[in-house]
Amino acid sequence: MIVLDASILIALLSRDDAHHLNAAQILANTPEQALATPSLTLAEALVKPARARRAAEAEALLRRYGIDEMAPSRPIDLALLRANSGLRMPDAVVLQAALDSGGRLATFDQRLAGSARQHGVPVLP
């Protein structure tokens, strides 16, 4: 499984994003892998489209990529990760999801990527 951070989702949704092509390549190069993201992360990626009154269209696009919504992590695990890592809660949520699933994390956020590696989570790109 590949857990997708908001930076990947936001890049997928915006052709103007500097990482758009890289995000699309990550998904294209891993067709056999399940793709998922926590509910909070999905909501974070949909904020800009929501402001433009295009949230439903953006969510449908992400669903066409086969991105599943992940169940929330156990609150105690998430709280401990947040407290001990110094990550912001949205980043802690996606890292905990990767830890829970035993999967890889896809992110363009270098701080999150570094923390994931410290926790033994493989990181894409």
Count, residues in the chain: 125
Strands in 123-124's sheet, in edge-to-edge order, are: 67-70, 35-38, 2-4, 104-106, 123-124
Structural domain spans, the chain = 2-124
Report residue 53: phi and psi, to 5°: 60, 40
In tens digits, the chain (125 residues) has pLDDT values of 999 999 999 999 999 999 999 999 999 998 888 999 999 999 999 999 999 999 999 999 999 999 999 988 899 999 999 999 999 999 999 999 999 999 999 999 999 999 999 999 999 99
DSSP E strands, the chain: 2-4, 35-38, 67-70, 104-106, 123-124
For the whole model, what pTM was predicted? 0.94
Q: Which fold has domain 2-124?
A: Rossmann fold (3.40.50)
